Amino acid sequence: MDSASQSANALLRKGILAGAGNPTLRRFVDRYGMSLGGARFVAGETLDEAVPVLRRLNDQGLATNTTLLGEHVEDESTTERVVEAYEGILERIAAEGLRTNVALKLTHLGLDFAEDLAYANVERVVRSAAALGNFIRIDMEESRWVDATLRIYRRLREAGHDNVGTVLQAYLYRTEKDLEMLLDLEPRLRLVKGAYLEPSSIAYPAKTDVDAAYERLLERMLERCSHVAVATHDERIIDRALELVAQNGISTDRYQLQMLFGVRAQLQLDLVARDHPVLVATPFGPEWYPYLMRRLAERPANLLFVARNVVRR
Ligand SMILES: Cc1cc2nc3c(=O)[nH]c(=O)nc-3n(C[C@H](O)[C@H](O)[C@H](O)COP(=O)(O)OP(=O)(O)OC[C@H]3O[C@@H](n4cnc5c(N)ncnc54)[C@H](O)[C@@H]3O)c2cc1C
């Protein structure tokens, strides 16, 4: 992509992420978004809708994770229902024999209210997952939650939970330091570029710098972490990851390539055919709006996909 298109994309990305808070836009997208293209990125609004999607992906040789979409709940008591929902999801995954783990957001479990509440809630989910032989990934959210998320991850690991991992975002300047601070935990980490709108005082504004930081972090993580999830659709970075894996003889139980449901589906299958472990992040739930807006912002060309569906109706 030339630099003019990169700047146009960066502007569109900013515009979409900033506009996502507009109530009129939200009402419109809430009403029509799923049928106009949201279903490409989300496995349905209910667990019953998501299960066959997860099964189909598993049948194609792809591991999956799922998430009950939601973030920033409005009151503390809602978090109790979110914990119960996750416990139900874990039981259903076990009953259905799916190769699916769970990714969740701490603001969905009450991090906006109190760190201790979020910790107690996530610990319950992690315990339930352990009893069922499953794994929990704590997603990384906006930069203001990074410190608390990493503290909670450390607390969980120091309490003896090893079926839990978290995420680092390459676009934040702080991440290389954060990684070094986590290494004593023998962490299971997912590396992403970063999906939120962050100021240039804390995050690289240029894609080339984010990509370079991603590669530096990837190298260090593959060297030192107990497991690394290389979460990107960027083929150049995937090739680099696979080169490092081959050079260092890293076994398939120490890394995984991760992509999003609805993005680069053929690439996912091609990588599985080459015997690489691949996971497809496959969320569901009625609160899909912010998730969809982030997917549109990552690739403004997705707006064209939505617009084509509007025209077809
Ligand atoms: C499994 C997984 C988990 C994630 N978890 C988090 C998290 O916890 N916190 C967080 O901040 N971010 C998370 N992300 C999002 C991530 O930060 C990026 O925003 C997202 O992956 C897009 O960046 P990229 O690495 O694919 O590279 P880019 O350089 O953005 O994209 C590379 C190429 O991939 C394709 N592509 C990328 N995105 C899309 C899209 N939405 N639709 C269609 N094509 C696309 C395009 O062909 C593009 O040219 C996650 C991503 C994945 C795959």
Counting Cα atoms < 13 Å in the Cβ hemisphere of 255 gives 23
281 within ligand 1 shell (Cβ under 6 A): yes
Site to substitute for ligand 1 among 149, 193, 304, most atoms within 8 A of C-beta = 193
Residues 143-185: tens digit of each pLDDT:
999 999 999 999 999 999 999 999 999 999 999 999 999 999 9
- Assigned token pair, 86: 């996750």
pLDDT along the chain (313 residues), means of 10: 71 77 75 72 94 98 96 88 97 98 97 96 98 98 98 98 98 98 98 96 97 98 97 98 97 98 97 98 89 83 67 56
Closest C-alpha to ligand 1, atom 49: 234
The answer to whether the pTM exceeds 0.85 is: yes
- Assigned token pair, 203: 């995050």
169 within ligand 1 shell (Cβ under 6 A): yes
Catalytic positions are 139, 190
Residues 8, 9, 14, CA angle at the centre, nearest 5°? 100
* Residue burial 259-288, b: 16+ Cβ < 10 Å; e: rest: bbbbbbbeebeebbeeebbbbbbbbbbebb
Hey, which residues does 169 pair with through a beta bridge? 192
pLDDT at 289: 82
* Closest approach atom of ligand 1 to CA 229: 1
CA of 76 to the centre of ligand 1 (A): 31
Contact 213, 194 (CB under 8 A): no
pLDDT at 72: 82
- Assigned token pair, 40: 């490409």
pLDDT at 157: 98
Q: Which amino acid is at 37?
A: G
pLDDT at 306: 66
- Roughly how many angstroms between the first and final C-alpha of the chain, as a whole number? 32
Considering only CA atoms, which of 36, 8, 1, 10 is closest in space to residue 193? 10
Considering only CA atoms, which of 197, 261, 208 is closest in space to residue 236? 208
Considering only CA atoms, which of 272, 281, 295 is closest in space to residue 100? 281
195 within ligand 1 shell (Cβ under 6 A): yes
pLDDT at 307: 64
* Closest approach atom of ligand 1 to CA 260: 53
Site to substitute for ligand 1 among 298, 303, 305, 306, most atoms within 8 A of C-beta = 298
Residues 3-48: tens digit of each pLDDT:
666 777 777 787 777 777 777 777 777 776 676 667 889 999 999 9
- Per DSSP, the three-state class of 155 is helix
CA of 254 to the centre of ligand 1 (A): 21
pLDDT at 2: 65
Counting Cα atoms < 13 Å in the Cβ hemisphere of 5 gives 5
* Residue burial 145-158, b: 16+ Cβ < 10 Å; e: rest: bbebbbebbbebbe
pLDDT at 37: 66
Considering only CA atoms, which of 245, 248, 236, 240 is closest in space to residue 276? 245
Which residues are within 8 A (CB) of 202 and not within 5 positions of it... i.e. 6 or more apart? 143, 172, 173, 174
Considering only CA atoms, which of 128, 47, 54 is closest in space to residue 98? 54
pLDDT at 13: 80
79 within ligand 1 shell (Cβ under 6 A): no
233 within ligand 1 shell (Cβ under 6 A): yes
pLDDT at 38: 72
For β-strands 278-281 and 63-66, DSSP reports them as: parallel
- The C-alpha atoms of residue 149 and residue 141 are separated, in whole angstroms, by 9
- The secondary structure element, H or E, covering residue 140 is none
* Closest approach atom of ligand 1 to CA 214: 25
pLDDT at 305: 67
